[in-house]
Structures are given as C-alpha cells and as structure tokens.
A and B are shown apart, each in its own frame.
Chain A
Amino acid sequence: MLFAVLLLASLSSASAIPLQASDTPNDGGGSITLHWTDPSAPPPRWTVVRRERGGTFAPLATIDGKLQTYEDDTAQPGTAYEYQLVALPTDPLLDSDISAPTQAIANWFDGTKLNVLVVAGLFFLLLFYYIFQAERGTRWTFRKIAGLDAIEEAIGRATEMGKGVFYIPGVQDIDDIQTIASMILLSKVSRMSAKYETGLLVPTNSPGVYTVAEEVVKSAYADVGRSDAYRSDQVRYITSEQFAYVAAVNGMMLRERPAANMLLGAFFAESLLLAETGHSVGAIQIAGTANVHQMPFFVVACDYTLIGEEYYAASALLSNDSRLLGSLKASDTVKILLITVIVLGAILMTFGQTWLWDFFATQ
C-alpha cells in the first residue's frame, strides 16, 4: 500500500509541468513573468496562485489553459514570491511545480530602447563634432528654402501696403515640440516686424502658448530697440476650443485683412479653414507644419509651405549661426545613415537575416 502511494506521488511529481518565474526585464520593478510548457492535454483553465516565501498560496488570476506565459504586474519590489499553476477543473496531476522564489527588480535601463539610445547618442556625437568644425571655421551650403526667403518678403510687402501680419502658432499647447519650434520662429518674425514697424498680431488658442508668445514678442521688440512699439494686445488668448478659435481668427482676418499670414505650428482640421480664409483676403501665406495629413491643404491654399523637417530647420537657417547650422548637418548625416540602414535592412531581409530588423523594431 505504502509502495503504491509513493509510486503515485512520484508519477505525479514526474508529470508536473515545470514552472519558471523570472523578473520581467526592462521595467520599474513591479512585475514577474511566468513561463511554462504546454502539457499534452492542458486543462480548460489555470488558476495562478502566489505566496510569499513561507506563506500560504492565494489565487491571483484565472487564465486560459492554452496560454504558456503570464505576467504578474502586482508584485512588490524586493519581495520573493513563489507561484504555482492549479488546473481548473481540479486535477492535481496537471498542477505545475512550485516555482523558485523570485523577486521583481527595478531596472535602471530599458533595454528595449537601446536602438533609440544608439541613434540619439550618434546624433549627439555628430552634433558636437559639427559644432567643433563650425567653430574651426567650416561652413556648409544648404538648399535654399523658398518659404524662408519669403518671410522677410511677406513682412516687407505688409509694410509697403500699410497692413499687418498674422502669426498663427497652431492649436497645440506649449508642451508640443511643433509649438516650441513655432515660438522660435515667432521670435524671428517679431524682430523683422519690429524692425519694419509692421503690425503683428498673434492669436493663440492656449493660455500656455499665449504666456510664452507674449514674452517672446516683447523680448524680440526689446532686442531690436523697439520696446516702445510693442502693444499689449498684439498677442491674444482667444479660446482653447478648436472651432471657436477658427471662427474668431477668421473673423479677425476678414476685419483686419492682413497682408501676410504665417501659419506655423501643429494644425489639424482647422488648417484649411484658416488658410482658405487667408487666401480669400489676398494675404501672402507661409505655412509650416510636421502634421503630414495637413500638408496637402497648406500646399494647395498657401503660397509657401515648409514641410516636416524644413519647418524644424527654419530657425537655424534663418539665424545663419554656424553652431545651429551644425545641428542641421548632424541631422542630414544621421538621415544618410538611416537611409543606408534601411537599404541594408531590405537586403538582409531578402536573404533571411533578421538581426538588423530585430534591432530597430519598436516595442
């Protein structure tokens, strides 16, 4: 009898599926991942049970019997846990082993972002290299962007006509990089407007953008020695509601009939509403955005459009500062490298090599 019980126990032990628990990599330390191999005849469901070392098991979750992995994201960092899979309906012969005690560990680096770190690190190195080159006197030639040359021309035209310039910085808040880039361009446009004594109006759709834009315009006027020409109603907060903003700005355009419109920032459905109204009042229009879906509208309705990277490069090209131009050179070099990697990746994939594709795959 005793022999039979021992045999049954040993058979049970031999047939139990091994359960491996390990810290989930690349996370903040709140997760443990379980792996197991599917038994030949898995139960309909598993109950995952967990205990702290020396404690008693408590159910954690009920999962499908066909799964082979489970992530416990309720683990406390620094606490050792043991897990077991219990078959549902109950069948002790199918229950898994008890896993070895495992702790969730907080990581200091997310390995899944290694590809981003490599490209960003390369960008930084190239940037410093080109800044060093610029300071040693190296100069580069960049493609002329018609839209940038047109900014001064548009402000000059407004001056000649005795009309104003509208600067619309998009409809995103100040934490958006396109809006930040727009504020940099606003500084340049404000200087030109102040220099030519041309009226500049900046309607904003976010109080954050309004606050920054007001400071930018005021500083620009001060920089060219025209603080006296700055008026406190040049920069206005309109509303944060998208179409109410469009209605207000279109109304202002129809009343004031500006000679030049600059639509530089992040735009969505309002892009064509603004640009077509500007076109109808006969304003020379310069647009710039990185929102791919709005570019066709601007291309159609505006005289000049800064597309994607041209928009981000605008401030460096306008400044002609060699260090800023160095950043464009770094950007172009990284672009050439990325094109090379894309071509190489396509060739490797054709020959069944996936390591390069795997490295650049995003999680």
Chain B
Amino acid sequence: MKREIPMIITMVAGLFMLIAFFVPHPAVRHLYEGFQIWVIVVVGCTYVLGVANLLRINWRQVARREQDWPYKIVLIAGLLVTMAVGFSEGTHYTDVTSGFQWIYQTFYSPMSSTMFALLAFFIASAAFRAFRIRSVEAMLLAIAAFILMLGRVPLGNAIHPAIPAAADWLMEIPQNAAKRGILIGAALGVMATGIRLILGLEKTYGGDGS
C-alpha cells in the first residue's frame, strides 16, 4: 500500500488537473485553484525538512572537523542570524531600512553577482573548446557564430551591411527552425511523461519492488 496510495493520488490529481485545463466552470475552477494553494502549503512544509537537513549535515561536519569545517560555521551562523533578524522584523522585513534587507544587500547580493559574473570567464573557456574546428559540423558552428557575433556589433555593419542581414537570417530561419523542432519534440515528451505518470505506467520513482 505504501506504493499504491501515492500512485492513486497521483492518478486522481493528474487526471483532475488535465480535465480542469479544459473546463472553465467555477465548480471545477475553484477546486483547481485550491489544489494550487495546497501545493504552496506542502512546499512551505518541506522548507522545515530542508532546513533541518541543512543544519544536521553541516553541524555534523563541524563536529567531526571535516574538510573546510570553519566555512560550515559561517553557513550555520549566517542562516540562523538571517532567520532571527527576518522573524524579529515580522512583515517589515521587506522595508528598505530593515536589517534583513541590509543583510541581503550587503552580503548576499554582491556574492550572488560575483558568481554570475564568473559566467563570462566560463563562456570564454567553453567557446574556446567549441570553436576548435575538428569536423564539418564544428566548422559550420564556428562560421555561424562568427557571422552572428560580427552582425550584432556596429563593426559588422561598417564592414558590409550584408553581415547584420546574414546574422538576422541565421537567427530567424535555421536557428528558429531547429529550436521549434526541439520544442515540438519536447512538448510531446512532456505529454508522454505526464500520461505515463497519470496512468501509473511510470512507477520507478516510488520504487517498484523489483
């Protein structure tokens, strides 16, 4: 029953959500919106489990003096202090002058921006590998990328007006065609996965006892 009950719930909820997609009647719509609220409530409850897991794992690493354990203390202290400040400020935690916002703007935001900024270096290293011409496909990729990059900056137009036009053509025709092909395939994949779950054909996620 441990496996059957979740599967029955998945099937009933999945079929209901599928039907609700086509039915605008309030009798169905209200229940549909209720389901969406339930999702928020359930996800809210999982935060308790998630934070407990985070504290448990990191505290254990500190207690065992595992590699880089001082950083775990920073993490635990950061989590607890931010939570304490946020809870103490109640609904005012979003105010510009609140302590919670000060922590967010002073610590989190610059660190997050730094991580994002690293992307520029990673793109450069990935592009270096991607544009090494080792096959016909890689050559086509490199030529397309060269035209596109040149066409997107003023220098391209200064060299010849056909370069930005060629870049636009690449984006509008071959790129769009390939992207739409992938999207149609992915949409059918979504449908197939959804139906497999709703009908209980796909049950490995809950363990099938095999």
**Residues of A in contact with B (beta carbons under 8 Å apart):** 26-29, 77, 106-110, 113, 116-117, 120, 123-124, 127, 131, 173-175, 177, 180-181, 183-184, 186-188, 206-208, 210-212, 215-216, 219-220, 222-223, 233, 235-239, 241-244, 246-247, 251, 255, 269, 272-273, 275-276, 290, 292, 295, 297, 299-301, 307-309, 311-313, 315-316, 319, 321, 323-324, 327-328, 330-331, 334-335, 338
Please tell me if the beta carbons of B24 and A28 are within 8 angstroms of each other in the complex: yes
Residues of A within 8 A of B21 (CB): 113, 116
Known: A207-B48, A210-B53, A223-B208. 9 other contacts (CB 8 A): A106-B25, A106-B26, A116-B21, A174-B43, A184-B202, A233-B60, A273-B122, A292-B179, A308-B182
Residue of B nearest to A181 (CB): B193
B184 within 8 A of A: yes
CB distance from B115 to the nearest CB of A (A): 4
Residue of B nearest to A293 (CB): B179
When chains A and B are docked, how far (Å) is the Cα of A316 from the Cα of B119?
Answer: 34
Please tell me if the beta carbons of B54 and A237 are within 8 angstroms of each other in the complex: yes
Please tell me if the beta carbons of B207 and A222 are within 8 angstroms of each other in the complex: yes
- Cβ contact of A108, chosen from B25, B192, B195, B210, cutoff 8 A: B25
Residues of A within 8 A of B8 (CB): none
- Cβ contact of B184, chosen from A210, A244, A301, A338, cutoff 8 A: A338
Q: Contacts A106-B24, A276-B125 given: A292-B195 contact, CB under 8 Å? A: no
Residues of A within 8 A of B57 (CB): 233, 236
When chains A and B are docked, how far (Å) is the Cα of A297 from the Cα of B22?
Answer: 37
Q: Contacts A207-B50, A223-B210, A237-B50 given: A183-B205 contact, CB under 8 Å? A: yes
When chains A and B are docked, how far (Å) is the Cα of A272 from the Cα of B27?
Answer: 46
Please tell me if the beta carbons of B47 and A109 are within 8 angstroms of each other in the complex: no
Please tell me if the beta carbons of A108 and B51 are within 8 angstroms of each other in the complex: no
When chains A and B are docked, how far (Å) is the Cα of A206 from the Cα of B49?
Answer: 11
Residues of A within 8 A of B39 (CB): 175
23 examples of A-B residue contacts, CB within 8 angstroms: A28-B24, A28-B26, A29-B26, A116-B21, A181-B189, A186-B205, A187-B205, A188-B204, A207-B46, A207-B48, A219-B206, A220-B204, A244-B112, A272-B123, A295-B182, A299-B130, A300-B126, A300-B130, A308-B185, A308-B186, A313-B189, A335-B184, A338-B184
Residue of B nearest to A131 (CB): B201
Residues of A within 8 A of B179 (CB): 292
Residues of A within 8 A of B184 (CB): 335, 338
CB distance from B122 to the nearest CB of A (A): 4
Interface size class of B (residues with CB under 8 A): 35 or more
When chains A and B are docked, how far (Å) is the Cα of A145 from the Cα of B60?
Answer: 41
Please tell me if the beta carbons of B67 and A216 are within 8 angstroms of each other in the complex: no
Please tell me if the beta carbons of A308 and B115 are within 8 angstroms of each other in the complex: no
- Cβ contact of A290, chosen from B43, B189, B208, cutoff 8 A: B189
B143 within 8 A of A: no
Please tell me if the beta carbons of A309 and B188 are within 8 angstroms of each other in the complex: yes
**Chain B at the A interface: mostly helix, strand, loop or mixed?**
helix
CB distance from B10 to the nearest CB of A (A): 10
Residues of B within 8 A of A26 (CB): 24
- Cβ contact of A316, chosen from B27, B116, B123, B196, cutoff 8 A: B196
CB distance from A88 to the nearest CB of B (A): 34
When chains A and B are docked, how far (Å) is the Cα of A175 from the Cα of B112?
Answer: 25
Residues of A within 8 A of B123 (CB): 272
Please tell me if the beta carbons of A269 and B189 are within 8 angstroms of each other in the complex: no
From 48 to 75 in chain B, residues with beta carbon under 8 angstroms from any chain A beta carbon are 48-51, 53-54, 57, 60, 67-68
Residues of B within 8 A of A237 (CB): 49-51, 53-54
Please tell me if the beta carbons of A243 and B186 are within 8 angstroms of each other in the complex: no
When chains A and B are docked, how far (Å) is the Cα of A316 from the Cα of B188?
Answer: 14
When chains A and B are docked, how far (Å) is the Cα of A246 from the Cα of B118?
Answer: 11
Please tell me if the beta carbons of A255 and B189 are within 8 angstroms of each other in the complex: no
Residue of B nearest to A333 (CB): B188
Please tell me if the beta carbons of A120 and B191 are within 8 angstroms of each other in the complex: yes
Residue of B nearest to A205 (CB): B50
Please tell me if the beta carbons of A208 and B43 are within 8 angstroms of each other in the complex: yes
Please tell me if the beta carbons of B201 and A327 are within 8 angstroms of each other in the complex: yes
CB distance from B138 to the nearest CB of A (A): 11
Please tell me if the beta carbons of B54 and A236 are within 8 angstroms of each other in the complex: yes
Please tell me if the beta carbons of A272 and B51 are within 8 angstroms of each other in the complex: no
CB distance from B76 to the nearest CB of A (A): 13
CB distance from B67 to the nearest CB of A (A): 6
Please tell me if the beta carbons of B189 and A309 are within 8 angstroms of each other in the complex: yes
CB distance from B24 to the nearest CB of A (A): 4
When chains A and B are docked, how far (Å) is the Cα of A291 from the Cα of B202?
Answer: 23
Please tell me if the beta carbons of B122 and A272 are within 8 angstroms of each other in the complex: yes
From 154 to 205 in chain B, residues with beta carbon under 8 angstroms from any chain A beta carbon are 179, 182-186, 188-197, 201-202, 204-205
